[in-house]
Chains A and B, each alone.
Chain A
Amino acid sequence: MKVNKQNESIVEIRNLSLTRGSQQIFNQINLTIERGKVTAIMGPSGCGKTTLLNVIGGQLPAQQGQVMVNGDNILALNSQQLYRVRRSMGMLFQSGALFSDMNVFDNVAFPIREHTNLCPLMVKDVVLMKLQAVGLRGARELMPHELSGGMRRRAALARTIALDPSLIMYDEPFAGQDPISMGALVKLIRLLNDTLDLTSVIVSHDVPETVSIADYIYLIAQGQVIGAGTPEALMNHSSSWVRQFMHGLPDGPVPFHYPAQNYANDLLGE
């Protein structure tokens, strides 16, 4: 089923259900990602945020529902169609996932060489432009193992935008970053989104950084969307669970203690 590609939403998820083994990851969730916006998907560890990105990218098939990306239902595409659709989307993995046998330049040039017939001179120019955008033009000769964690992610970001995708998905972009790298990544994500006319989806549980750049936030927990809105709206949400997560409170609806029998009884061995 095709829909108008110029409409407001770039990703529409309808009634998505996903079960892995005996665990239900998603239960009939609905979600819309608007074109040109930075949308964050947040939630506690293990709630299925990264899994959701994998479903949008067609790397994980869901049992039920509809995932429309740029008008194509990802769940109904065959392998060849999926690879075609993926050229218009990019994903920044948590580790960067740079190809370890190539230097930074060749990593960024990889998708250009694979999908276009540009001459080497033009490939070089495009790669240098992408590297300049992420501030790593001077690091083009370095191998991935010579880069810091933040630099690796920036190099991977340059590779992700090499083919000018319309949608970029970021998987935990701020995890394990020092304050300078974190600041650089926060600025870059917003800047690239606005200047390259992209749509960004950020999966994260780093609340302050995500709130500072997101236009809209979805909160996921226990297989369902439990809160959605602008960052300000979620900070003052009526749900105590949402407020606990957004303000990072140690106790609340999600208890500090894992369910257990009475403490005194436990100590006394009763």
Chain B
Amino acid sequence: MSTLIHYLGRVGLNGLQNTGASALFLMRSLVGKPKFFKNARLLCQQMYYVGIFSLLIIVISGLFIGMVLGLQGYTILVQFGASQALGQLVALSLVRELGPVVTGLLFAGRAGSALTAEIGLMKATEQLASMEMLGVDPLRRIIAPRFWAGQISMPILALIFSAVAIYGGYMVGVQWLGVDSGAFWGNMQNAVSFKEDVVNGIIKSMVFGTLVTWIAIYQGYCCAPTSEGIARATTRTVVYGSLAILSIDFFLTAVMFGGVQ
């Protein structure tokens, strides 16, 4: 019994220590005198790698998820004679939940793992150490632009995902199954509130973007500088990132839409 308590205590303390270390790591990366011109160039470069390179998987996944949503929604709604509400169902599901969550999960798998592997490899090949010895802080030069790039790219990717998925739902619902086009778009327009739904969806995706990017860069920077260490860190990024998204999503949904005061 005492061994179990001892073990749980150690796990708890390690967890707290890691959380504190990662918070300090992020603070040291982001707090400091900004160099706008130099940083803007690095930020654009990283947004290209993090955002543009994730675009293909986001667009294709969005299209298919929207199509499935249209098909499933129609088969259920048509039983109650409510197939006209398909647009409403598709849009609300996507903007409030599926857009930010699925984009976050895909982002963790595509961009998060790439960030961890890249930073981990830079550490293993002593590139970060050599940067330090050249008098350049790798936290400001390598970590900070990647964090901001993830933070900015994620909401944009979530919006693109939702837009493409709504089009996927439209293709299946209206063009294939024959739901009235006016009812599809009209009900959607009436049901979706920009302030309540779209903005909350954007806030969710910003939170997920922060979490995933933070986990990815911390895992890369603190991994063991070996091929095995990098592999483990990459896996941890995807696992921790996905779990963080799904658990935080519940709390955000409860606060935003669940009537929690």
Task: Out of B122, B125, B133, name the residue touching A91 (CB < 8 Å).
Answer: B133
Which of B120-137 touch A at CB < 8 Å?
121-122, 125-127, 129-137
A84–B132 Cα distance when bound, in Å, is: 11
B137: chain A residues at CB < 8 Å are: 79, 83
Contact in complex: B130, A84 (CB < 8 Å): no
Number of A-B contacts (CB under 8 A): 55
A93–B122 Cα distance when bound, in Å, is: 13
Contact in complex: B134, A84 (CB < 8 Å): no
Contact in complex: A97, B135 (CB < 8 Å): no
A100–B132 Cα distance when bound, in Å, is: 16
Contact in complex: B130, A114 (CB < 8 Å): no
Contact in complex: A114, B126 (CB < 8 Å): no
Query: A86 near B: Cβ within 8 Å?
Result: yes
Task: Out of A90, A95, A98, A114, name the residue touching B133 (CB < 8 Å).
Answer: A90
Contact in complex: A95, B134 (CB < 8 Å): no
How many residues on A have C-beta within 8 angstroms of the other chain's C-beta atoms? 24
How many residues on B have C-beta within 8 angstroms of the other chain's C-beta atoms? 15
Is the contact region of chain A dominated by helix, strand, or loop, or is it mixed?
A: mixed
A79: chain B residues at CB < 8 Å are: 137
A93: chain B residues at CB < 8 Å are: 126, 129-130
Query: A257 near B: Cβ within 8 Å?
Result: no
Task: Out of B125, B127, B135, name the residue touching A83 (CB < 8 Å).
Answer: B135
Query: A89 near B: Cβ within 8 Å?
Result: yes
Minimum C-beta distance from B129 to chain A (A) = 6
Contact in complex: A59, B133 (CB < 8 Å): yes
A91–B134 Cα distance when bound, in Å, is: 8
Query: A130 near B: Cβ within 8 Å?
Result: no
Contact in complex: A87, B135 (CB < 8 Å): yes
7 inter-chain pairs at a CB distance below 8 angstroms, sorted by A residue, are: A86-B134, A90-B134, A93-B126, A94-B126, A95-B126, A97-B127, A100-B127
Query: Which B residues lie at the A interface, using CB under 8 A?
Result: 121-122, 125-127, 129-137, 141
Query: Which A residues lie at the B interface, using CB under 8 A?
Result: 57, 59, 79, 83-84, 86-87, 89-91, 93-95, 97-100, 110-111, 114-115, 156, 159, 163
